[in-house]
Every structure is written in structure tokens, then in C-alpha cells.
Amino acid sequence: MDQCRTATTAALETARYYEPRWPDNILLVNPPKLPASIAALPKAELHLHLEGSIRPAMAQALAKRCGVEISTEEVLRRYTYRDFTEFIETFKWVTSYLRKPEDFGFLAADVCEQLLLQNVVYTEFTLSVGIMLLRGQDPQRNFEAMLAATQPFEARGLRVNWIFDAVRQFGPEAAMDVVGWAHKCKSPRIVAFGIGGDELSLPTKAFEAVYRRVGEYGMHRLIHAGEIGGPEKIREAVEMLGAERIGHGIGAIHDESLMDMLKERGITLEICPVSNLRTGALEIQRGKGATLSSHPFPQLVRRGIPVVLSTDDPAMFHTTLLEEYQHVYAMGVKEKELKRVIAQGFQSAFLSAEEKSSYLKQPA
């Protein structure tokens, strides 16, 4: 194991901190079938971590590029987790094969193929630049390889923009470095800066200067908040950092006045139900034994808060965007409401007003 991989491993150990729920039998059983009219609609996917999108076959292919042969049995064994520790082990193992810029390009193209299969026409990939820097990689070279690999997908109907992401527990200085790299890459395709990781590790206030800089550079602002944290984390993100969208934000359900504020200010919550179940965030927000049927998605939609539906780390959490739609339909969200959620995906995108309306005008 080389030195930078060891450093990354240590840092990742602290990146997850709560008890997960893995067994598939806590997903909804025998759900009603998602209407074809919903499945067929063009969609946006706004909360998607590129590094969480490495399918088992892709893991084998990436390893092969590093000269390592992995059998199908082994890769499937690693992708079958019995607990959260095993999940983290797999995440560290699989991302350790993202070594050269071309590896990132290779992965980005594969994720684009997966999105096209689900009729996703617009996405914003979250890129863990914080982890790249930890591994001693050059984010600009990685990004340029990904940009080159994803541009051909435009002609096939998938537009890709990028969010540079920092790790909260690495601190404000490391986050400021990520902002600096986003600026240095000088690409109009880098539309936003975000922070993920351990929501409870450092106070929101510690990142005020970082987000001020993001604003000065003309990028949009978002952050993971209210995933396992309470509603105050979401309020702080909006009031102290100027966050325009919140990753997860399911903690909002506990605070009526916060929900009013999100609705009035048009702050979007990016909801990823299967992720919330797998990571244990749902149990933290809804109590022990919570299942998808107690996910707050339907209430948040009906409260009039801008809500989009996303997958977070689809390959790692064994989900897809269409499955997420299937799940929320099974939770009782109506076809008409799902159409609004799909439209919200474009309304909440970091695109110009003209670009948004060109997507929204497309016939349903």
C-alpha cells in the first residue's frame, strides 16, 4: 500500500460515523409499478458523486488498467456488504484504482452511459476534489480528462456540469484549496462548490470565508446538511453560507419555520432515499427501525418545498435513479407530484434561465 493511499484510508475512516442499515429486506416489498409515463420523462440528476458510481464491472476494468486482475466472484463479494465497515472498505478499495487522469475520464464516460439508459438529459457530477488533493493528485488534469470524456455525450443528449466538493472534516483550509482549484480550472462547466463528509465534525461558521470566496468567484453554493444533523444545520447553511441547495436536508422535517423559510426562499433539498436508508440517516431522523415507508419525501414535496430526487452514490448503495422514483411512488407520491419533482430537477439546476426553460419546454 503506498503512502498516499494510507493517508486516504486514515482520512476515510473518519468520513462515516453512523450505523447503517444494509439488508435488502427493509426496502419496500412488492411496490406498485412506476407508471411508464414517469419512467419515460427526461430527467435531471443533481446529487450524484462520481466516485460513488463505480459499478462492479467498472471496478474490474479500473483495476485491470492498474495491472490487477480481479475475478467476478471477488468483485461481487466486495460489493456485498454485511455492515458499514465493509462498505467503507469497498469504497476505499475501489477508489484506490482511480490513479491517473484517464482513469477518471474512463469512469465518467461509463457513468454517462448509465445515465443515458435512464433518460437523464442533464447532470451535475459531484467530484471529490478534497480526496484527490489528499491523494496527491492534480485535480486540473483529472478534470480535463473527464471533460474530454464527457463532452461527446452532449451530442447524444446528455449535458454534464460539475460541482467541486470538499470534505468537511478536513477543515476550512483544505476546503479553500478546493475552491482555488475550481477557479484555476477556469471552466464554465464547473458551476458550483459543495461540502460533504461528517456534518457534525466542524461548525458551519468555520466555512463562512470559504463560501464568501465561492461567491466572489461566481460559483453556486451548496452543502450536505440535515442528513444526520438537525434542522439548525440547514438553517445555518442558508444563513451563514448562502447555500442555494442542500444535500439531503431531511432534518428539515423537524422544524416548521425552517420548512416555511425553505419554501419562501426557494432553497432546494436534494433527497436520496436509498442513501438515507443505507447510511442510517433515516433512522437518526425518524427513529430506530425506520424504513423507506417512513421517509419524509412525501411530506416535504407536499409542503411545497423545492425537492429533487437523486441517488447520491448509486453503485455503492445499489440503486438507480429510476429505482428511486419507483420507491417514492410506492411511498404514495402521486404521478402528478412526480412530474413536478422531475420539472424541479431542471428548475433547481445550476443553469441559466434560458437553458432551464429549454429543458422545461420539451414535450412530456
What SS3 class is residue 91?
Answer: helix
- The least CB distance from residue 221 to Zn ion, in Å, is 15
Q: Which of 45, 51, 124, 227 is catalytic?
A: 227
User: Measuring CA to CA, which residue among 5, 165, 167 is closest to residue 91?
Assistant: 5
Nearest to 346 by CA among 308, 320, 303: 308
Asked if residue 285 lies in contact with residue 296, where contact means CB atoms within 8 angstroms, the answer is yes
Q: Which of residues 101 and 251 has its CB atom nearest to Zn ion in the complex?
A: 251
Q: Which of 157, 301, 284 is nearest to 228 (CA)?
A: 284
Name the minimum Å distance from CB 88 to Zn ion. 15
What residues between 202 and 241 interact with Zn ion by CB under 5 A?
none
Asked if 244 interacts with Zn ion (CB under 5 A), we say: no
Of 101 and 165, which has the nearer Cβ to Zn ion?
A: 165
- Shortest gap between Cβ of 334 and Zn ion (angstroms)? 27
Closer residue to Zn ion, CB minimum distance, 160 or 272: 272
Maximum Cα interatomic distance, the chain, rounded to a whole number of Å: 55
Indicate the residue among 70 and 162 with the shorter CB distance to Zn ion.
162
Q: How far is the CB of 224 from Zn ion (least distance, A)?
A: 6
Range 280-309, binding Zn ion (CB under 5 A) = none
> Beta partners for 268?
245
d(CA 43, CA 113): 14
Cα–Cα distance list, 237 to 101, 258, 264, 272, 305 (Å): 33, 12, 16, 19, 16
264 among known catalytic residues? no
Is the CB of residue 97 less than 8 Å from the CB of residue 103?
Answer: yes
Q: Which residue is nearest to Zn ion (CB)?
A: 312
Q: Tell me whether residue 48 or residue 179 sits nearer to Zn ion (CB atom).
A: 48
Q: List the interface residues with Zn ion, window 305-334 (CB under 5 A).
A: 312
Residues contacting Zn ion: total by CB under 5 A: 1
CB of 353 to Zn ion, least distance (A): 26
Residue with cell 420507491: 327
Give buried/exposed letters for 304-316 (b at 16+ CB in 10 A, else e).
ebbbbbbbbbbbb
Q: How far is CA 75 from the centre of its chain?
A: 23
| Distance in Å, CB of 204 to Zn ion, minimum | 17
Cβ closer to Zn ion: 236 or 312? 312
Nearest to 324 by CA among 12, 31, 22: 31
Which residues are designated catalytic?
227
Interface ranges with Zn ion (CB under 5 A): 312
